[in-house]
Amino acid sequence: MSTLVVYASKHGATQGIAERIAAKLGEAGQEAEARPVEAVDDLASYEAFVVGSAVYAGHWQKEASAFVQRNRTVLASRPVWLFSSGPLGTEATDGKGRDLTVAAEPKEMEEFEGAIGPKGHSVFFGALDPGKLGFTERAIRKLPAARTMLPEGDFRDWTEIDTWASSIAHDLAQ
């Protein structure tokens, strides 16, 4: 039995986080693999799940939310951890002094809490490479309100991600 790390990633930042979590679980002696949500069908052979998505305009990617909804019965019966990859930049708080990882909590999270009762949810800083963005995303970045929220760069905190993965491995080993 192994752990499946399922992810939805538009431009690769969330994929990198998911693969790192799977690798870290492996290092800790837990069998684990990372797969994009569209490449997952049968959940029966997994004992636990980590499900993650990039956050766009305050929401998880649709296919990740659909995965949770579609599989809520199985997910509710096994240990599940959720993560979101969202905030960008080097500041820990937004202009109003709110913790960015709290402000970036995706709107679906309350519903997921009720539907599957995850053991945890973490919001990690993400990454933005302007070269990968589509036309609409580039236009959104030019809006004055978005300019400070969407800086270019890779802000993923690998130490924080590793620590989270290690705590999951510890839980699984109990």
Ligand X SMILES: Cc1cc2nc3c(=O)[nH]c(=O)nc-3n(C[C@H](O)[C@H](O)[C@H](O)COP(=O)(O)O)c2cc1C
Q: Which residue has the tokens 């070269």?
A: 131
Binders of ligand X among residues 132 to 161 (CB under 6 A) are 133, 137, 140, 150
Q: How far apart are CA 77 and CA 91, in angstroms?
A: 38
Q: How far apart are CA 78 and CA 34, in angstroms?
A: 17
Residue 128, interface with ligand X (CB under 6 A)? yes
Q: Which stretch binds ligand X (CB under 6 A): 27-35, 84-92, 109-117, 164-172?
A: 84-92
Residue 86, interface with ligand X (CB under 6 A)? yes
Strand partners, 3: 32, 48
How many Cα atoms occupy the beta-carbon half-sphere of 172 within 13 Å? Answer: 27
Residue 9, interface with ligand X (CB under 6 A)? yes
Q: Are 147 and 141 in contact (CB under 8 A)?
A: yes
Binding pattern for the stretch 44-63 against ligand X, x by CB under 6 A and - elsewhere: ----------xxxxx-----
Closest CA to 54 of 138, 131, 150: 150
Residue 43, interface with ligand X (CB under 6 A)? no
Q: How far is the CB of 144 from ligand X (least distance, A)?
A: 14
Sites of contact with ligand X (CB under 6 A): 9-15, 54-58, 85-88, 104, 126-128, 133, 137, 140, 150
